[in-house]
Amino acid sequence: MKMQHKPQFMTQLYIDGRWVDGTLGRRIVVINPATETHLADVAAGSAHDVDLAVASANRAFRTWKQTTGAERARFLYAIAQEVDVRRERLAMLQSLNNGKPQAEAHIDVDDVIATFRYYAQLAESLDDISGEDVNIPSTEHRVRICREPSGVAALIVPWNFPMVTTAWKLAPALAAGCTVILKPSEITPLPELELADIVASVGLPQGVFNLVTGTGVDVGAPLAAHPNVAKVSFTGSTGVGQTVMKIAADTVKGVSLELGGKSSIIVFDDADLDLAVDLVAAGGFFNAGQMCSATSRVLVARRLAADLLAKLIERAAQIVVGDPFAPGVSMGPLASRSQFERVLGHIKQGIADGARLVTGGGRPVGVPEQGFFIEPTIFADVPPGCALWRDEIFGPVLCVRVFDTEQEAIDIANDSQYGLVATIVTRNEVRSERVARALEAGVVWINAPQLIFPQASWGGYKRSSIGRELGPFGLAAFQEIKQVLTLRHANQLS
């Protein structure tokens, strides 16, 4: 797709039902990671803008929490419909601002639509305000559990899946009856701002949805610390998530964290080799490896190791890296210069630590001099204690290790501070179920690509997550639980 003219972008903050410039008048420069050219100057919010947004959301919550689930569902359906109408523009913005190939960008748009529709359906089931009766060992009392919206929710989302991670938070928050302030990444605000324009266009009451762009220091931290924010839902790096949690602790607010991963794909000796190659390549190179769910640690049974590695090297050579709008391109650039330099630094350090580089490791041949492109990279014989094996790289880098027994594979996979996802490749159904139960991961795929359905759950063990997103768990993340106990005869009229 060739851009014939520079498209127009939303660049302001959205507070209290209006598009406004930040109170300090500062701007954030947004660039195209494939060309390093200027795209837009977006308003940079401040702590004062956060105060205005929270005040707006707090006012709106008084009435929004009283709406029925059916009323909220109508708004969610309308958002999904308008996303569908604007799908080509949204996919274009994903590729332009994040660097995703168009095929991946369209997958993201479909995910957003599916998520809003699912939570619209879930919202329709929330109209029984009397609560759920609980069986108790007393005939004189009645106990009910009522689920109520948490309040004002701060949604802080990353740059690797703009709009998708937003939908995973925004749809259930609105369905639950919360009002929100969204803080998108300053690296990829353009698709998020277009999504905000969609949300604003469906007629939500003033203040129910607000958006403040800006840095983590200027916007994210004030949101996490704000006394009138009841809930913070954050997706990003583990280090920043720890900071968010510490800040939120001062006001003892609810916190959900979706953080890092260093996940394994285990290829057993009876695996379908071609299927294994497909799953390994997708798990490591989709979105240029910029996924918390990247299965970048490849554990392969010794008998298949040489064949798998040879086929992976061949597959890596077939991946076309370049302009995300160009036909045939299957991997775009990394999203920013800082990430580009970080990944190159990890590759360099891995070589210094004794890992064997078998393919890639640098800039692809044939791409322009500008743009944050790194070729698909594979290491073998990676020392288990080195950073390349233990740290989240967030780039197109695979690390391959051999195992001899099932238990050894499980032990290696679980030897991590993270526990987000895992993949198992085997023809043995009994073994696949046994290993899936033994793995310390929140999501396990068996002989399957990384499909994520909004009806299921998302999140991990250990330092990967606190709480869960998607499914009914995502809705529960924005609800408070209230017990109501009634003495039966006291309510009887005399």
Query: Choosing from 292, 375, 386, 399, which is the catalytic residue?
Result: 292
DSSP run (H or E) holding 383: none
**Taking a C-beta distance cutoff of 8 angstroms, is the pair 210, 154 a contact?**
no
- Three-state SS at 244: helix
The span from the CA of 50 to the CA of 393, in Å, is 32
Eight-class DSSP state of 386? S
Q: What is the largest CA-CA distance in the chain?
A: 88
Rounded Cα distance between 225 and 223, Å, is: 5
Residues linked to residue 321 through DSSP beta bridges, in sequence order: 331
CA angle 359, 98, 219 (to 5 degrees): 125
Q: Are strands 377-380 and 356-359 parallel, antiparallel or unpaired?
A: antiparallel
Contact 199, 222 (CB under 8 A): no
CA angle (358, 415, 470) in 5-degree steps: 95
Strands (E), 250-348: 254-258, 264-267, 297-301
End-to-end CA distance of the chain: 77
Tokens read off for 404: 């001899």
Question: How big is the CA angle at 293 (ends 289 and 298), to the nearest 5 degrees?
Answer: 75
At 42, the amino acid letter reads V
Backbone angles phi, psi at 424, to 5 degrees: -120, 130
Q: Clarify whether 292 is annotated catalytic.
A: yes
Q: Is 148 a residue of the active site? A: no
Task: Note the Cα 490 to chain centre separation in Å.
Answer: 50
Instruction: Out of 82, 194, 258, 375, pick the active-site residue.
Output: 258
Q: CA-CA distance, 377 to 261, in Å (whole number)?
A: 18
Active-site residue set? 258, 292
